Amino acid sequence: MYLLIGATCVVFLASISFLIYLKRLHRSAAYFQTVGEYVQQGKLDDAIAILKDTLSKNQRIAEAHAALGMIYNKKDMLDEALSELKTALNIKPDLISIYQEMYLVYKKKGMEDEAKSALESYERLKGSK
């Protein structure tokens, strides 16, 4: 009898945990959709504000750092872009799109060796997936 009650509690707690996970996932997807829409509309400062607000609550979101780096690149804030992209890579080194963006930033800055290195890292990771 106690075993059945215990198993029921475990299933119930697992269900609640899964629902919380799904809710967070949905919120995260909606958040990135909003940022993407702002970027498409040219509202880069609004997108930056959302990303900075998110990162003020949790600095470990690699995708937010990457998005911020990409937006800074669009605004030609190249040092800030590189800083955010490097932070994203430190958190999640297998985000291959970051290497593409770093390549673009390095090219804009005239840093050919670094651009080549970023492109090689991208190609290497792309080939391993």
Please write the tens of the pLDDT for every residue from 79-112.
999 999 999 999 999 888 899 999 999 999 999 9
Given 3-state DSSP classes, what are the helix, strand and coil percentages for the chain, each rounded to the nearest 5? 85, 0, 15
- CATH number (domain holding residue 28): 1.25.40.10
User: Residue 77 carries which DSSP code?
Assistant: -
Rounded Cα distance between 24 and 20, Å, is 6
- The pLDDT value recorded for residue 125 is 86
- The pLDDT value recorded for residue 33 is 80
Neighbours of 114 (CB within 10 A): 16
Residue 76 near residue 104, CB atoms below 8 Å: no
Closest C-alpha to 64, from 92, 105, 43, 104: 92
User: Residue 94 carries which DSSP code?
Assistant: T
Rounded Cα distance between 110 and 125, Å, is 24
> Which residues form the domain of 44?
2-128
pLDDT in tens, the chain (129 residues): 544 453 343 333 333 443 343 344 345 666 678 888 888 899 999 999 989 988 998 899 898 899 999 999 999 999 999 999 999 999 999 888 899 999 999 999 999 999 999 989 988 888 876
Total structural domains in the chain? 1
- The pLDDT value recorded for residue 9 is 31
